[in-house]
Amino acid sequence: MFILILGAPGSGKGTQGRILAERLGLPKITTGDLIRTAMKEGTAPLGIEAKKYYDEGKLVPDSVVLGMIKDELDRPEAKTGAILDGFPRTAAQAALVDKTLAQRGQRLNHILLLDVTEDELVRRMRARSQVEGRPDDSPEAIATRLQIYQRDTAPLIAHYTQRGIVHRVPGGGTVEQIAEDIKRIIGR
């Protein structure tokens, strides 16, 4: 089973993805974490290329991340299912995911869209910046990330809604409430 957690930055994708992956015993693929690791280790080309976009809150270009996404989906652990956290985020990434799975006779089974108001997103990212000190949680980068989500990623919702696999999950409650909602939607 392949499940995509979709939502604006700060909507709780990472937290809910972790809970779901543990419950279903599936690997979680998190492009943000992979990019952060590559930057920390200075891996070429990903880590080095990513930095100039990441810190400003911009998406790392598809030319840099598509190869990474393909490699992750092709890993043996992800052969029968995975939780996708943080990708696809663009039309080109969605096309790659669709094609890679289709070639294996698979598809995305569920899209969980975490629905959180913009005020709440900003509040959470500011709170996180106090704790984690992520450079992309600065006020300027937060604004850029929200804009880019609306421009590049939100259109994917329409693409997947046509297939009838999008479930809107109210994302403003507690972590436990949201996890329960997701359990009910997935049916396990």
User: Which H/E stretch holds residue 185?
Assistant: helix 175-186
Minimal distance, residue 159 CB to ligand AMP, in Å? 15
Residue (58 or 168) nearer to ligand AMP, CB: 58
Minimal distance, residue 187 CB to ligand AMP, in Å? 27
By CB under 6 A, is residue 182 in contact with ligand AMP?
no
Report the alpha-carbon distance of residue 86 to residue 74 in Å, rounded. 17
Report the alpha-carbon distance of residue 112 to residue 3 in Å, rounded. 7
* Residues, the chain: 188
- Of 6, 21, 26, 59, which lies in the binding site for ligand AMP, with binding defined by CB under 6 A? 59
- Of 26, 65, 116, 166, which lies in the binding site for ligand AMP, with binding defined by CB under 6 A? 65
User: Which H/E stretch holds residue 29?
Assistant: strand 28-30
Q: One symbol per residue from 87 to 126: x for binding ligand AMP (CB under 6 A), - otherwise; what is it?
A: x-x---x---------------------------------
Q: Which stretch binds ligand AMP (CB under 6 A): 16-24, 83-91, 160-168, 177-185?
A: 83-91
Are the beta carbons of 135 and 50 closer than 8 angstroms? no
By CB under 6 A, is residue 31 in contact with ligand AMP?
yes
Burial tier of 12 (Cβ tally within 10 Å: 0-12, 13-18, 19+): buried
| Sign of the dihedral through C-alpha 57, 62, 63, 64 | positive
- Of 49, 72, 136, 137, which lies in the binding site for ligand AMP, with binding defined by CB under 6 A? 136
By CB under 6 A, is residue 35 in contact with ligand AMP?
yes
